[in-house]
Structure 1
Amino acid sequence: MTDTDQKIKMYGTSWCGDCRRARNFFAENKIEYEWVDIDLDKDAVEYVKSVNKGCKSVPTILFPDGTLLVEPSSYQLKEQFGLK
């Protein structure tokens, strides 16, 4: 696995409020991740659609172990990282 394969990837858009909230959560908790703007990356759009039954649901967050969170709430993010 390469270094980028071991990072969390967040697929989203610049105009999405839930994406901003998730990005703020990651920043506030000093969690490193790779941001992928699906408006700028055709392959990323296709990936997001492939894991979301054809929908462009964002944020879609991919963890190194293959776990996905799609449009997670703040509670789900806290739970994923063991922050309560």
Structure 2
Amino acid sequence: MQFSKVSGKKNEHKVALYALSTCVWCKLTKQFLSDNNITYEFVDVDLLDQNDKTQAHQTITTKGGILSYPTIIVDDKTIITGFRKDKLKEALEI
């Protein structure tokens, strides 16, 4: 599964975003991360082939998440489902 990397000045946390290419909330999440200069990686799950989709779903559910988008995993432990500025600010210490 190939993630796209977006560089930012703040890279203290590892941020992985699982998104859908057509999802407004996913686009808002990407914009929020970029506006706050957060380095993050993202993958648009709906554009993946079936094997990579399965892998993405397993990664999310194994870490305790639900299959809802956007799903953000911070530092491989904190799962945020949906566009939640408050939770993102808390997890990313911004």
**Cα offset for 1:24?**
0.3
Which of 53, 60, 63 lines up with 1:48 in the alignment? Answer: 60
Q: Deviations over 1:11-33 (max 9, x none)?
A: 01111111111100110111011
Judged with a 3 Å threshold, the aligned counterparts in structure 2 of structure 1 residues 82 and 64 are, in CA distance, closer, same or farther, namely: closer
Which consecutive unaligned segments of at least 5 residues does structure 1 have?
A: 1-5
**1:3 corresponds to which residue?**
none
Say what the alpha-carbon RMSD is for the aligned residues.
Answer: 2.0
TM-score w.r.t. the length of structure 2 is 0.66
Q: Which stretch of the first structure deviates more once superposed, 7-16 or 68-77? A: 68-77
The 2-side partners of 1:23 and 1:66 are apart by 20
**1:79 corresponds to which residue?**
90
TM-score w.r.t. the length of structure 1 is 0.73
- How many correspondences in the alignment? 75
Judged with a 3 Å threshold, the aligned counterparts in structure 2 of structure 1 residues 70 and 34 are, in CA distance, closer, same or farther, namely: same
The 1-side partners of 2:71 and 2:45 are apart by 10
**2:28 corresponds to which residue?**
21
Q: Deviations over 1:47-84 (max 9, x none)?
A: 335521xxx3011111114111111322322233333x
> Share of identical aligned residues, percent?
35
**Cα offset for 1:8?**
1.1
Counterpart of 2:91 in structure 1: which amino acid? Q
